[in-house]
A and B are shown apart, each in its own frame.
Chain A
């Protein structure tokens, strides 16, 4: 739900139901990073009700578009985090497997194997 004015669409309050700090803080962070935004913040009107109000004020662009762009940026950021995380896990598992093999070879043969990295 968007509470704004018909004449000036650069400032609006978006009310999201069934949401909490998890998405509101993340969206507020990405909104702040956008240079078109002059003010953005979020509030939770009542803790028992799962509703979040996000206020966006921009330098002229419609607030709806800026919010959509911020959500898109957040999605891309999370996608990048996911791929980096997966790769880091694979690298860790690979390096651990190599270490385990090196320890085995040292125990069985008794000579040091050279580390070539």
Chain B
């Protein structure tokens, strides 16, 4: 009958349509959509079919709405230690997982030594090498308690941690190894006095140092029980022969891994897809990776 021709075409919004029925893809397409197969020479189906209309000709909706994602997404922790962690994320795409991995490595802030003020270094380790090694030292402190230090700011107790290292190997004594437990935390700020051009006559005022601490960092409640120390006190910084001395002050600030790898909080972070083994009836093992 020609009745359908006389009907008006109504405008509707795509969001008002009822949920597209999720028909089933034929098994070979479902395999292609959801599994990466590791064949003899190379893996195939590695790119994920993300386009929402990819299977539109078959009447299947490939888009993933937020509610469907929320229902299907699960996290299972496999292992959780003080220093490492392994967990499974089920129902998420590789693109988002890779973004998490990149953020873990490059965009989480930590504290690391940035400026090293060397008063005396007669060891065989050069100044810059010593400073570089000190910068890579991991410091056991929560970076959320500190603020970033920008160029115009003055270093104060809210954005700087000050350490001091003063070791000396006396003449006649054997060689000593300088480990990280010699690095002392100075909660009251820098002790090195700045040299000022015009010598002021009032010697009663406090001499100007390289940091401007308003109050001591010791009284902050988080640091009363846990003083700020490097995480591993047995890392070797330098070795001194008889008659050599190192005296320096190190200032640690907050930064992210993108600027310099010393501020990266992880040793490394990686992800892989869940492996699934399927044994063929012809007794050859086909290995696949499940998205």
Contact = CB atoms under 8 A, between A and B. Distances in A.
A68 interface: no
The binding surface of chain B is classed by DSSP as mixed
A6 to B, nearest CB: 25
Chain A contact surface mostly:
helix
Interface in A1-50: 20-23, 25-26, 28-29, 32-38
B77 interface: yes
A50 B53 CA distance: 31
A80 interface: yes
Contacts of B73: 80-81, 84
Given A76-B66, A77-B69, A33 B52 contact: yes
Interface residues of A, number: 31
B98 interface: yes
A89 interface: yes
Contacts of B103: 22
A25 B50 CA distance: 12
A93 interface: yes
Contacts of B219: none
Contacts of B106: 22
Contacts of B53: 35, 38
A31 B65 CA distance: 11
B14 A29 contact: no
B41 interface: no
Contacts of B100: 81
